[in-house]
Amino acid sequence: MGNKVSGMKAARAESRSRNSRQQTLSRLACVPPPAASHAKGSCFGGMVRKVRSLSRGRSSARRSASPSSPCSSRSSSPGSPTGSQQWGRTSSRGLNPYLGARCGRSGGAFWLHEEPFHRGTYAFTDDASIDREDIPAEPEEETSSSGSLILSTRLEYTSLKKDEAYNVFALVSLQAADISVKGGPEDPSDPAAALSVTDRSPMDITCVLDVSGSMQGEKVQLVKDAVMIIIDEMMPGDRLSIVSFNSDASRHTALSRMDMTGKDAARQAILRLTAGGGTSIAAGLDWGIQVMEQRRQRNVVGAIFLLTDGQDGTSPAQVQELVNRARVAHCGVYAFGFGQDHDTAILSSIAEAAQTPFTYVERPDSIRHAFAGTVGGLMSMAAQSIELHIEPDAGCTIGSLHTHFTSRRDETSGAAIISIPDAFAGERRDVVVELVVPAAAADSPDASVPLVRAMATYFSVRERATVHMPQDCLYAERTAEPEGEPDEEVTTQRQRIEVTNALEQAIAHGEEGRFEDAQSMLDQNIQKLRSSPAQNETSKALLGELDDARCRLSSAADWQDGGQAELTDAMWMHRNQRCTNLTTTSSNRKDKCSKALYLRSAQRCSLQRNSLM
């Protein structure tokens, strides 16, 4: 009897197993195979291998895939993470494998219920090798006390009354050495020529390009022209990969060296791009990040360029996951919003997560300038992985930090540690610190007292070494009768922070349709800035920014006609202290010169060289 029961159980188990296998095969049969462009994946014949795992098929849609570890520059083969990939478009209802969310429409309104991001997984083992002399040394292998950054500190007032407590502003600045500008593009002493030989490090760039139906015609042609500029700017030590996306994503070239053969292959791939279909930003970004994650070797500078003119349902949480993966893969993500119909909110969330600028490209012919300026900056990369330590002294405490860069506090010392991703040659990174300074005894002698000690570590790209900068102390005179006007540079940086916050608040009002509230708030900031005794070129540029913002929030039509995108572009430019171009939009009603505050010499040279092409 026992044997009979056991046999019946075994038969039922075998039947369930057989049915499960048949259901699995049936589900796979319903999934359309990848198009030829997906399967080939590379002009060099590199095959994209889709990794399936039937044992994980049921659970992968319910969990977030953890990012694969980036490969070391000395690794011989990339990691090959496993997972499942669904091909083809999804209907208006159902699970989009790239968005990782249930979505649909009800009464004309789009609804989105967020689920864990369901990433596609591919194995790219065909990135071109890097010459041994181009491979950067590991940062730990060499250290130095000097490099390309200069650290400085300033106090709002140079002297403070002894028997009074203060809330006073301090400024901690990091300045990257700029390249010298001599002559023009035809001059052999031009910095671009010198930069290509001695001052620049090889780059890895993946272009993720929107080729949805809205990009048909002139738009897609101008995108092609813009990528051609990137190809022309790159040198044999640089590597480039081309990814396009609509409802799905495709990789057209492997990460290839930009020698003559590589450039020809990249140009041919660009010329074959055609536009059509829907838009999935997450699909394109996921694919581009995987190209960078699975590099067997890494150039010291890496970036992903995302250009789109469309909208989709990607959520901020999914953006954060994607950008986190890019950060682990040691590459920045630069978002370019094309035209007036792009999803400014999603691209702004990418800029926030990546701590890079968001670039609004209003006119199709401006794409080439935005790309050229960004490439020029990346070519001049001076420092990476900057960690700034600000430690209070003499009983002082840090009341607040005015920076959007990631920061944390040391509970023991009260120090603030700010993490800054990188700095181009000539760029500044300014952190405004509000210090709480205790009173000193009235009968104590006049003395110079240290309020803050600042130090920094970073990876110097040119020297390829980790630099530990010497400590810089900020002193204040404690006297019975203090004298002096507010420091101009501290005041200027406070104005930059205040204008940036005003733009952020104005954007929030605009998104809620509260245009009168936005204008009232901007009027207050304009009046405050105009009445400030510290007037210089920076304050004038900031004032022009506020005037332009006020015009763009005068009505819903102005807001929708590029107003939101322009304000978002300006906010992230001032917040990151980085700009990609000098292009002004046709809808500007006020003269704006704020972009010139942040565009550096290498970027200007790249723009000048390409404007003459």
Same domain for 442 and 387, yes or no, is: yes
Give residues with Cβ within 8 angstroms of 378, minimum separation 6: 203, 205, 301, 303, 424
Residue 177: pLDDT band (50, 70, 90) is very high
472-479 vs 447-460, strand pairing mode: antiparallel
**Whether residue 563 is found in the same domain as residue 508:** yes
Greatest CA separation found in the chain?
105
The per-residue pLDDT for 428 is 97
Range of the domain at 586: 487-613
Average pLDDT taken over every residue of the chain: 79
The span from the CA of 162 to the CA of 174, in Å, is 30
Both 544 and 562 in one domain: the answer is: yes
- The verdict on residue 297 lying in a domain is yes
Distance CA 526, CA 542 (A): 9
| Same-domain check for residues 495 and 477 | no
18 located within any domain? no
Q: Which of 379, 413, 446 is the last residue of a domain?
A: 379
Whether residues 207 and 61 fall in one domain: yes
* pLDDT at residue 165, rounded to an integer: 92
Which residues pair with residue 479 across a beta bridge?
161
Q: Answer for the pair 558, 566: CB distance below 8 angstroms, yes or no.
A: no
Assigned domain for 206 exists: yes
* Residues 316, 456 within the same domain: no
pLDDT of residue 132 exceeding 90, the answer is no
Burial of 445: CB neighbours in 10 Å, binned 0-12, 13-18, 19+? exposed
Residues 347 and 461 reside in one and the same domain = no
pLDDT at position 446, please?
A: 83
Q: Reply yes or no on whether the pLDDT at 106 is more than 80.
A: no
Q: Which of 466, 484, 502 is the last residue of a domain?
A: 484
Nearest-angstrom CA–CA distance, 240 and 206: 6
Asked if residue 186 is part of any domain, the answer here is: no
Inside any domain, residue 256:
yes
Is there a single domain that holds both residue 451 and residue 359? no
> Of 54, 89, 124, 44, which is closest to residue 287 (Cα–Cα)?
124
Q: What is the CATH number of the domain that holds 205?
A: 3.40.50.410
**Residues 157 and 205 both lie in one domain:** no
CA distance 322 to 310: 18
**CB-side neighbour CA atoms (13 Å) of 80:** 13
b/e map of 573-607 (b: 16 or more CB within 10 Å)? bbbbbbbbbebebebeeeebebbebbbbbbbbbbb
Q: What is the CATH number of the domain that holds 147?
A: 2.60.40.1510
Integer Rg of the chain from CA: 27
The pTM of this model reads 0.78
**Domain count within the chain:** 3
Higher-pLDDT residue of 243 and 233 is 243
Who wins on pLDDT, 90 or 421? 421
Judged against a pLDDT cut of 70, whether residue 26 lies above it is answered with no
pLDDT for 369-399, tens place per residue? 899 999 999 999 999 999 999 999 989 999 9
CA distances from 391 to 161, 254, 394, 395, 456 (A): 22, 46, 10, 11, 11
CA distance 468 to 457: 5
Which of 484, 501, 529 represents a domain boundary (last residue)? 484
Q: Does one domain contain both 80 and 217?
A: yes
User: Does residue 319 form part of some domain?
Assistant: yes
Cβ distance 103 to 92 under 8 Å?
Answer: yes
> Residue 28 falls within a domain, yes or no?
no
List the single range of 15-24, 107-116, 194-203, 555-564 with lowest mean pLDDT: 107-116
Give me the torsion for CA of 297, 303, 309, 313, rounded to 10°.
Answer: 70
Sorted by sequence, the CB contacts under 8 Å of residue 318 that are 6+ apart come out as 99, 100, 101, 114, 117, 282
Host H or E run for residue 253: strand 249-257
CA distance linking residue 280 with residue 95, whole number of Å: 13
- What is the C-alpha separation between 565 and 551, in angstroms, rounded? 14
Predicted confidence (pLDDT) at residue 92 exceeds the cutoff of 50: no
Asked whether the beta carbons of 406 and 418 are under 8 A apart, the reply is: yes
Regarding whether 363 and 260 lie in a shared domain, the answer is: yes
440 and 455, same structural domain?
yes
Q: State the amino acid at position 426 in one-letter form.
A: G
Burial of 161 (0-12, 13-18, 19+ CB in 10 A): middle
The 3-state DSSP class for residue 362 equals coil
The two three-digit tokens of residue 220, written as one number:
């897609």
For residue 4, tell me if it sits in a domain: no
Strongest mean pLDDT among 27-41, 132-146, 152-166 = 152-166
Predicted confidence band of residue 586 (pLDDT cuts 50, 70, 90): low
Residue 124 in this model has a pLDDT that exceeds 90: no
Closest CA to 125 of 329, 261, 290: 290
